[in-house]
A and B are shown apart, each in its own frame.
Chain A
Amino acid sequence: GAVVSQHPSWVICKSGTSVKIECRSLDFQATTMFWYRQFPKQSLMLMATSNEGSKATYEQGVEKDKFLINHASLTLSTLTVTSAHPEDSSFYICSARAWEGDDTGELFFGEGSRLTVL
């Protein structure tokens, strides 16, 4: 099946610094990728839809300037948490559809990245 990889798996940073998380589709091209945030013992919250070559579409309530998303190629999307604060600590997960035009809805997920802001 399609493989989506995230890096880093774990990151600890100081408050006020910025952190970049990468999401790669390893064996397919992903025009669209999705970024989710997951709080402890809760479900996944869609943050934004990352579109290759264009601006991301953010969900209501998600700060565009805080969570910068770049989808510069068909296999890579990045999420940058700018000026991170302890409340940004969370588990961030990316996902992608396996192929262009696939409307079955199935998503392939990365392994997730746990961010801890001290």
Chain B
Amino acid sequence: AQSVTQLDSQVPVFEEAPVELRCNYSSSVSVYLFWYVQYPNQGLQLLLKYLSGSTLVKGINGFEAEFNKSQTSFHLRKPSVHISDTAEYFCAVIPNSGYSTLTFGKGTMLLVSP
């Protein structure tokens, strides 16, 4: 079984400041990793994903994440946030060995203020 831990339930930050949203996972098998964003009263939109290859993954809206296998982490970063980045962010994993379903973290609410 897999588990995903997002330690920060809420991250307040000022506009144009950098931000890092933390994600750690636990799994006995190799996994694919994802970050999704959810705006209020909407579904989820994929920000980026790591399947293989380079451990630094670039996504939409200026976000990037780095996969660290030894630390079992997949932290999400953005060098300069905008008000419009205010949303809930979910980290998720899925075993890469079969046809399975995503396991989500509890989410981190990013609050960007002017």
A residues at B contact (CB < 8 Å): 4, 6, 9, 34, 41-44, 46, 49, 91, 93, 95, 103-112, 114
Contact = CB atoms under 8 A, between A and B. Distances in A.
A105 B96 contact: yes
Contacts of A111: 42-43
A112 B90 contact: no
Contacts of A105: 32, 34, 49, 94, 96, 100, 102
Count class of interface residues, chain B? 20 to 34
Contacts of B109: 41
Contacts of B36: 109
B90 A43 contact: yes
7 contacts: A43-B104, A43-B105, A95-B43, A105-B96, A105-B102, A106-B49, A112-B43
A93 B101 contact: no
Nearest to B106: A43
Interface string B66-105: 0000000000000000000000001000101011111011
B7 interface: no
B17 interface: no
A112 B43 CA distance: 5
Contact of A106 (B34, B99, B104, B106): B34
Contact of B44 (A41, A46, A93, A114): A93
Contacts of A4: 43
B51 interface: yes
B41 interface: yes
Nearest to B6: A43
A46 B107 contact: no
A14 B96 CA distance: 43
Of A43, A46, A111, chain B has the most CB atoms within 10 Å of the CB of A43
